[in-house]
Amino acid sequence: MTKLILLRHGQSQWNLENRFTGWCDADLTEQGISEAKKAGYLIKKKNIIFNFAFTSFQKRAIKTLLNLIEELDKPIKNVTKAWQLNERHYGALQGLNKAEMATKYGEKQIMIWRRSFDTPPPPLDKKDPNHPMNMKIYSSINPNDIPDTESLKNTYERSIPYFKSNIEPVLRSEQNVLVAAHGNSLRAICKYLFDISDKMIVKLEIPTGNPIEIDLDNKLKVINYSYMDITRAKEIYFNK
């Protein structure tokens, strides 16, 4: 049996400000740092050992992982940063306040953009300084791979091939893996692992800084799963 821990980053400054973050590089709040440390504490209590961890290119996920490792008191030898694990790109909505956009476009339209499986928000102009093409951290990525906007389906289509080719081989070698990423890249991974339907995935919410502990058999089928902090657990809609 192998363990996979999925962890959404701790609260970011833009989470706190109720803004669409996407590929913008918002930092952690003090609460976010505390959530990351608590995640490390919960994992340490269970004495789960990792040799491999994966995270995104975004500092809120990277700092979450670093604070967690500090709490573990044990290094993780192999840490990989992959842009494919980035948050979903929210297009022209990035940086804007969610409540203000609901007033402008209507709550129904905002919820379609936020929660539907295959409807992306309006695209971000490539000339916008907040477009990933204009950010140094993405300079090594093929420009054709950098999105102007994404639906959850688009996020799934970049995250899951990466998961299959880079994370599954480690799990198949019976080594535990920690993935510190984002709400939507983790929703994509959960959709894949738990076989969640397109209809039900729109209901899945993943709280910040609360590790999901998943036990996998030798065929990487889910045996058990649970949030480590049960006081902030959410339903996962397993096999629905």
Q: Which residues are catalytic?
A: 9, 87
> 215 with 10: CB under 8 angstroms?
no
- Structural tokens at position 230: 């049960």
Residue 115 CA: distances (Å) to CA of 181, 195, 204: 18, 18, 9
What type of residue is 43?
I
Which residues 6+ apart lie within 8 Å of 11 measured at CB? 28, 29, 31, 32, 35, 208, 209
Backbone angles phi, psi at 200, to 5 degrees: -85, -25
d(CA 103, CA 170): 46
Spell 202-223 as b/e; 16+ CB within 10 A means b: bebebebbbbbbbebeeeeebe
